[in-house]
Amino acid sequence: MWRRSLSTTALTDKKWDALVIGGGHNGLVAAAYLARSGLSVAVLERRHIIGGAAVTEEIIPGFKFSRCSYLQSLLRPSIISELELGRHGLKLLKRNPSSFTPCLDGRYLLLGSDKKLNHSEISKFSLRDAEAYPRYENQVESFCKFIDPLLDSSTPETLQGDSSFSSRMKNKLHKSDFWAHFMRRSLSLGQKEMVDFMDFLVAPASKVLNNWFETDVLKATLATDAVIGTVSSVHASGSGYVLLHHMMGETDGDKGIWSYVEGGMGSISQAIGRAASEAGATIVTNAEVSELIIEDSGTVNGVLLSDGTQVRSSVVLSNATPYKTFMELVPKSILPDEFASAISNTDYSSATTKINVAVDKLPKFKCCKLGDPSSGPQHVGTIHIGSESMEDIDSACQDAVNGLPSRRPVIEMTIPSVLDKTISPPGKHVINLFVQYTPYKPFDGSWEDPAYRESFAQRCFTLIDEYAPGFSSSVIGYDMLTPPDLEREIGLTGGNIFHGAMGLDSLFLMRPVKGWSNYKTPLRGLYLCGSGSHPGGGVMGAPGRNSARVVIQDIKTF
């Protein structure tokens, strides 16, 4: 289907229509759409395996880990349908219930798609909150519907540089149509709901949730989605948008439902890769791009591989982070100073660590005895450890602000092997721990120190022991990716899982930087197609699809 290595002659015997740097899911999506339009396309992936952060790897024999990303919801329905990913092997496993939050006082909270379950569970803490929760969900769904069309289209960006009369007219028509459509949707939403929407976007998540609910454990369970992958506190302005971003998805038409993927998250990338290959794209692994080839005119016409091979193409799409693309692959002093400064000053910080654990038994939570001894509803969804209140989350964040890994980390635990029997030996399980907050450069040690790393991993396991005694003794082995590891191994600048912060100053017309939100760049022939471009991070595929459509349109006018 794709080749781990390809002869130099096979890559260099022609000029490709398009090269894609990076075989992450967005790069593969872009390649699939480009190839389907009839273009000759090659994807160049640095690692031995495609997928980027959406990858499955067997780090411990018999245990297949979703090594970075670990849940699916955001992948655009249009991509699943148009690329026929189901036919190419994609199988989603819905989770119900979707979350479980154990408490040290012996209580717990289960939430899911079952409205009766939600009412019953929340009522244990507050009848008022149980009545408010469906209204909260309805409001969030309304806001997501409002944003949804923005995800599948390029931004109404001003044309850059010299353009033909035809291009200028098309751009004006696109912008006029976009803003007219946006205004119609705003009017249909109504002034009150529009004001509520803006408040949700710019407010701290804590303010949003405090206005809706009184129960600490409910607010904390919801608030984790507002800080996932960030260095921010739940009290940070704009964290409401991150909360909303993680509620925009669906599984098989069910809104807001997150799922496991059979075979791990790499199965998404493999399915997209098959669709791209079927359309005619060539996918090459172990092919690291070291530099872009740029003509004296400032036009990109290919790449230089780390082994010295030159590969020529009419256009290049980069699925690397904006920093990697412009600060490391573009030769010095070529980019406009203002643009280069904006890219280098973008926030790529991260406080995320992923720990993939192989265990010989399921954790037993002392707060409940649900289901049979093998598994129960508490094992199916996301298990929130160490975040019984928003102040718990904020305290963990403040440790990282002070340069220290959180003393009591915020942990999202998932156990995909409860539903997916293909990823672990019988009777044993795969556990994902998404951990915050861990600074890139801690003041009290180094992530390069094995003892320091082991100490933090044990801190996480010991915290889990407080809720599920004996968890530590069940660990067979683990794989840990700190922010520097995510940068070095996966290519995520600063370890940021979104290719750059998702603050309000870094979205829509401001992503990756102001004036360059339409996937184009100051270098003619070079485009972005990764999460650092609109509409942002997560296993969404929208940047790849949108970018490919822009490239196809541009090639027609070259």
Residue 532 has pLDDT above 90, yes or no: yes
The more confidently predicted of residues 558 and 257 is: 257
| Average pLDDT over every residue of 75-96 | 96
Residue 338 has pLDDT above 70, yes or no: yes
- For 376, the token pair is 């129960």
Residue 370 pLDDT grade (very low, low, confident, very high; cuts 50, 70, 90): low
Indicate the domain borders of the chain: 8-55+265-346+501-557
pLDDT of residue 473: 97
Instruction: Return d(Cα 29, Cα 35) in angstroms, integer.
Output: 10
Residue 7 has pLDDT above 60, yes or no: no
pLDDT of residue 170: 77
- For 417, the token pair is 């092997």
Query: DSSP state, 157?
Result: P
Instruction: Return d(Cα 499, Cα 377) in angstroms, integer.
Output: 34
Query: Average per-residue pLDDT in the chain?
Result: 93
- For 204, the token pair is 């701290």
Residue 4 has pLDDT above 50, yes or no: no
Q: State percent of the chain over pLDDT 70.
A: 97
Q: State percent of the chain over pLDDT 90.
A: 80
**How far does Cα 272 stand from its chain's mean position?**
16
Cβ atoms 504, 199 nearer than 8 A: no
pLDDT of residue 373: 60
| The Cα angle at residue 293 between residues 291 and 299, in degrees rounded to 5 | 130
Burial readout 127-154 (b: 16 or more C-beta within 10 A, e: otherwise)? eebbebbeebeebbeebbebbeebbbbb
Residue 8 has pLDDT above 90, yes or no: no
**How far does Cα 28 stand from its chain's mean position?**
15
Residue 291 has pLDDT above 90, yes or no: yes
Residue 270 has pLDDT above 80, yes or no: yes
Instruction: Return d(Cα 230, Cα 239) in angstroms, integer.
Output: 9
pLDDT of residue 301: 94
Strand 526-528 and strand 310-318: the pairing is parallel
- 108-112, 190-194, 461-465: least confidently modelled range: 190-194
| Average pLDDT over every residue of 461-467 | 98
pLDDT of residue 558: 64
CATH topology of domain 8-55+265-346+501-557: FAD/NAD(P)-binding domain (3.50.50)
Query: DSSP state, 24?
Result: B
The more confidently predicted of residues 102 and 375 is: 102
pTM over 0.85: yes
pLDDT of residue 239: 87
Residue 444 pLDDT grade (very low, low, confident, very high; cuts 50, 70, 90): very high
Residue 320 has pLDDT above 50, yes or no: yes
pLDDT of residue 96: 92
pLDDT of residue 455: 98
The more confidently predicted of residues 414 and 11 is: 414
- 234-238, 373-377, 485-489, 511-515: least confidently modelled range: 373-377
- For 305, the token pair is 């591989």
Residue 9 pLDDT grade (very low, low, confident, very high; cuts 50, 70, 90): low
- For 501, the token pair is 């912060």
- 167-176, 201-210, 221-230, 285-294: least confidently modelled range: 167-176
